[in-house]
Every structure is written in structure tokens, then in C-alpha cells.
Structure 1
Amino acid sequence: MTLEAHRCPNDHLTHPGHPHCPECAEPQKETIDLTDRTAEIVTWTTSTATPPGVRQPNHLAIVEFMVSGKTVRTIGQLTTGDVEIGDEVRPVHVNELRDPEAGIREAASQDWGGYRFEPV
């Protein structure tokens, strides 16, 4: 599983991907692997009232990746609450972002893995 940004013919970057660019409506033409890149924390928060199966407290951040002089932002869980705005983070794959048994969907019906962001 990779963490991917998507680029349209007009060089707009988005995450997550869309069939058509949200900025110009052109079809997305390529993906950029963000898995081995670092990002900067733009803002972050801690949620103590989380959905079923999500860890408490749940540290979340909006992070910004730089790709060929352009930026793309995404939101995700942090591995720790010991961070500050401007800190550099890297994506770390985890098998379960939430407990599959605590959700309302069948555990086998979706992929529970994803990425958290860890300070560099």
C-alpha cells in the first residue's frame, strides 16, 4: 500500500485522488508516491471523543508535502502528541488505524490499514 498524490495535466496536486481534478476538472493523469517523502505539520489537534475502535486520545495532523515545487496536503493520525507546527514527519504504514471489530461494517469489507505520521 502506498500513500499517493495525484496530478492532473495542469500540474495540480491532490490527495486523495479523484477521477477529475477538483481545481480544473481535467482527468487525473499520474500518481506520485509520497511514502518515502517527508512532510511538514501545518496544524494538529488531539481528539478525545473518537469513533468506536479509534484510539483515545487520537492525535491528528494536516501535513504538507513538497513535490517538484508544488505542495499537496493530507490529513492523518500522528504516532505521538509530542509535536509542534512546522515539525517534519514521515508516513509510517500501520495494519490497523482502527479496531475492525468495533465498527459497524464487516471487518473483511474494507482495508483497515493506512498511514500515520511520525516525527523525523
Structure 2
Amino acid sequence: MSRESDSAAGEPAMAAARYADGSITYPPHPLGPDGTERTGTIDLSEHTATVVTWTTSTATPPGVREPNHLAIVEFEIEDESVRALGQLTTNDIEIGDEVQPVYAEELRDPEAGIREPASQDWDGYRFEPAD
């Protein structure tokens, strides 16, 4: 997750990058797929996405909830698409469902890993069914 800008709710943005050729990537990269420069960012948390596929992991890394429902989702933004992988808030989901990103202060337990808790960010976005 990128902290390039904040959303209206004061949460970190789910920032994707837009490039001179019109392409969008998530997470953002310094250069676009064709080597073009970044021209701006888009906060994906302000958009809905469609579930492309999803799965449930029952063998999760330390500190990650079990079972862990994950999805690949696709955002359509101004005739461009960008995909993201993330946790789901529920397993009551189907391919083709519309979802929205929701901020989570803790995607995993920082005390359960092998790294020092202060050495990385533990927050991010999950996807829940759109209203």
C-alpha cells in the first residue's frame, strides 16, 4: 500500500499510478509498462471493482487470519483497467460481484511475525461487497 496521499476520511490512499501513455498500475511504480513517466496518482479506495477470481487460504503466514479469503479484483477507471490482489471481508462472494475497498488498521498481527513490528506497516485495504 502506498501513503502518497490521504483519502477524505484521513486514511492512507490506496494509490495507483497513472502514466503518460494512459496506463495505470497498482501498486505504483516509478515508470509505466512502456517506460513512460508517472503523471499522477489515483486513489482506488474511491472506486468500486469487480471480482475476477477469489480463493480461500487455510495455511496462512504467521499473524494472518485463518481462513484468509483473497480476491483479484479489477478497477475500470476512465477506459483503463487495473487489477489488485487483496483480502476479502467475507467468503460470501462470487466472481463478477462488485466490491469496494475498506481500510483496515491491521491486516495481520504485528507481534506474530519474525520482523520487528516497527519495521513495517501492518495496515491496508480489504474488499467488501459493494452496497
Q: What displacement does 1:54 show?
A: 0.4
- Residues 41-65 of structure 1: CA deviation (Å, up to 9, x unaligned): 0000000000000000000000001
Who is 1:26 aligned against?
36
TM-score, scaled relative to structure 2: 0.88
Same amino acid, percent of matched pairs:
61
TM-score, scaled relative to structure 1: 0.96
Tell me how large the CA RMSD over aligned residues is. Answer: 0.7
Aligned length: 119
Structure-2 separation of matches of 1:30 and 1:105: 33
Who is 2:70 aligned against?
60
Who is 1:10 aligned against?
21
Who is 1:109 aligned against?
119
Q: Of residues 79, 82, 86 in structure 2, which corresponds to 1:72? A: 82
**What residue identity is the alignment partner of 1:81?**
N
Q: What displacement does 1:98 show?
A: 0.4
**What residue identity is the alignment partner of 1:51?**
P
Unmatched 5+ stretches in structure 2: 1-11
Unmatched 5+ stretches in structure 1: none
Structure-2 separation of matches of 1:16 and 1:10: 17
Question: Which contiguous aligned blocks of 4+ residues in structure 1 show a shift greater than 3 angstroms?
Answer: none
- Residues 12-41 of structure 1: CA deviation (Å, up to 9, x unaligned): 1100011111x2012222101111211000
Q: Of residues 67, 83, 92 in structure 1, which corresponds to 2:93? A: 83
